Amino acid sequence: AQSVTQLGSHVSVSEGALVLLRCNYSSSVPPYLFWYVQYPNQGLQLLLKYTSAATLVKGINGFEAEFKKSETSFHLTKPSAHMSDAAEYFCAVKVNTGFQKLVFGTGTRLLVSP
């Protein structure tokens, strides 16, 4: 079954530091992968998605993710953290059942300190 695993339930960085949020996938077929962000008391918002067109995917708010098949990873990065990046981040994989179905990881809470 297709699934994703997010390593680290919490990640703390200082403002201006590199952000790295880890996601590994399990899939027997080329996966479609997504990163979503959830701000407090809000729904999820799509950051970026990988659909096999390019291994390096750029998203909103300066985030990007690189698909590495050899490592079965799709880690999310941002060169310089901003206070407004503090949120919960979810990695997800599309399960192909004829209809789009997303299976989410357990999430990583990003804490940004001044």
Partner 1 sequence: EAGVAQSPRYKIIEKRQSVAFWCNPISGHATLYWYQQILGQGPKLLIQFQNNGVVDDSQLPKDRFSAERLKGVDSTLKIQPAKLEDSAVYLCASSADRAGNSPLHFGNGTRLTVT
Binding site for partner 1 (CB under 8 A): 9, 32, 41-46, 49, 90, 92, 94, 96-107
Classify each residue of 25-50 as buried b or exposed e, where b means 16 or more C-beta atoms within 10 Å of its C-beta: bebeeebbbbbbbeeeeeebeebbbb
For residues 3 and 17, which CB has a smaller minimum distance to partner 1 in the complex? 3
Backbone angles phi, psi at 69, to 5 degrees: -65, -40
For residues 19 and 33, which CB has a smaller minimum distance to partner 1 in the complex? 33
For residues 52 and 80, which CB has a smaller minimum distance to partner 1 in the complex? 52
Which three-class secondary structure state does DSSP give residue 54?
coil
For residues 7 and 17, which CB has a smaller minimum distance to partner 1 in the complex? 7
Which residues are bridge partners to 110 per DSSP? 11, 87
For the bound state, the minimum distance from the C-beta of residue 24 to partner 1, rounded and expressed in Å, comes to 14
Instruction: Determine the residue type at 109.
Output: R
For the bound state, the minimum distance from the C-beta of residue 107 to partner 1, rounded and expressed in Å, comes to 5
For the bound state, the minimum distance from the C-beta of residue 37 to partner 1, rounded and expressed in Å, comes to 11
For the bound state, the minimum distance from the C-beta of residue 26 to partner 1, rounded and expressed in Å, comes to 15
47, 46, 68, 44: which is closest to 56 by C-alpha?
Answer: 68
